[in-house]
Structure 1
């Protein structure tokens, strides 16, 4: 059953009771990474294996995302700074315990491609925060795998052009 979460603003990425921050470097340039994150939402499942379906809503102002195991999120896009930043908050979910959730993706050009930083900012009861901290390694592994998959996909796409 879906529940409405507390609406948060972008500063929640820095002030949330729980912040999990992950980073990885990919060889693709920021432009290509940003397009995959923010403009090609429907193809997230092809590189982020935890995602089974994703689609833009509200003429691009939001997204609906489904994860393996049946979790879903209805989201509002909070920031679209081309080639630099993409952020969204979760408005509705069936994930138990969450009170607020915002995810922020930051892209930084490097000499070899792009540094991708993903911040998972959440609020919920202490038990949820402990569980998420304990699950940090799994979330990190999922993120790193997604970045490897995305990099391969973007490299193949660039080679075909």
Structure 2
């Protein structure tokens, strides 16, 4: 059953009780990475292994996301700054224990490619926070694999091997 989470602002990425931050580098330029994140939402399931469905809602102001295992999210886009960042807050979910969640993808030029920083900012009761911290290695691995898969999809279109 879906539950409504506490609405949070962009500052939650800096002040959340649990902040998991991961970085990876893509050979693709920031414009291409941003486009895949923010404009080609339905493509997420082709490069982020945990995502089984992603689609824009509310005229692009929100998203519906489903993960492997049946977790569902209804989200509000909080920031869509071309080539800089893409952030969204979860409004409703069927994930147990979660009280608030905001994710931010920050993009920085890195040579001819892009440094990608993913911040997973969350709140919930103590057992949820403990479990999320324990899941950090798996989330980091999932993120790095996703960036590699995304980069593999993007780089051929830009003349790279």
TM range, smaller chain: over 0.9
TM-score for both structures, normalised by structure 2? 0.98
Residue-pair matches, total = 160
Instruction: Point out where structure 1 has 5 or more consecutive residues left out of the alignment.
Output: none
Per-residue CA shift, 1:18-42, capped at 9, x if unaligned?
A: 0000000000000000000000000
CA distance in 1, matches of 2:49, 2:110: 26
Which residue matches 1:144? 144
1:155 CA drift (Å)? 1.1
Which residue matches 2:153? 153
CA distance in 2, matches of 1:159, 1:111: 16
Which residue matches 2:55? 55
Which residue matches 1:72? 72
SS of residue matched to 1:92: strand
Which residue matches 1:84? 84
- The root-mean-square deviation of aligned C-alpha atoms, in Å, is 1.0
1:142 CA drift (Å)? 0.2
CA distance in 2, matches of 1:4, 1:23: 29
Which residue matches 1:119? 119
CA distance in 1, matches of 2:156, 2:7: 38
